[in-house]
Amino acid sequence: MKITPVEELFTALNETSDMIKEELDCTYLEALAETGENLFHESILQEELSELTLKRLKKSYESLHLDKFSSEELRKSFQLAILKGMKENVQPNHQMTPDSIGMLVGYLVNKFVQRDSIKLLDPAVGTGNLLTTVINQQNGKSVEATGIEIDDLLIKLAYINANLQKHPIQFFNQDSLEPLFMEEVDAVISDLPVGFYPNDLRAADYELKADEGHSYAHHLFIEQSLKHVKPGGYLFLIIPNGLFESEQSPKLHEFLKEQVIIQGLLHLPISLFKNEKSAKSIFIIQKKAEDVKPPKQALLVNLPSLSKTAEVDKILKQINGWFKENKE
**DSSP letter string, 160-178:** HHHHHHT--EEEE-S-TTS
**How far is Cα 187 from Cα 224, in angstroms, rounded to an integer?**
13
**How far is Cα 172 from Cα 175, in angstroms, rounded to an integer?**
9
**Going by DSSP bridges, is the β-strand pair 229-240/196-197 parallel, antiparallel, or unpaired?**
unpaired
**Total-model pTM:** 0.94
Please say if the pLDDT value at position 178 is more than 70: yes
Cβ atoms within 10 Å of 16's Cβ, excluding its own:
25
Cβ atoms within 10 Å of 87's Cβ, excluding its own:
10
Phi, psi of 188 (to 5 degrees): -110, 135
Averaged pLDDT for residues 27-43? 95
Residue 328: pLDDT band with limits 50, 70, 90: low
Give the per-residue pLDDT at 175: 97
Domains observed in the chain: 5-88 (1.10.150.470), 99-326 (3.40.50.150)
Give the per-residue pLDDT at 107: 94
Q: What is the pLDDT of residues 80-117, one digit of tens each?
A: 999 999 988 766 555 778 888 999 999 999 999 989 99
Give the per-residue pLDDT at 139: 84
Residue 308: pLDDT band with limits 50, 70, 90: confident
Residue 4: pLDDT band with limits 50, 70, 90: very high
**How far is Cα 190 from Cα 240, in angstroms, rounded to an integer?**
12
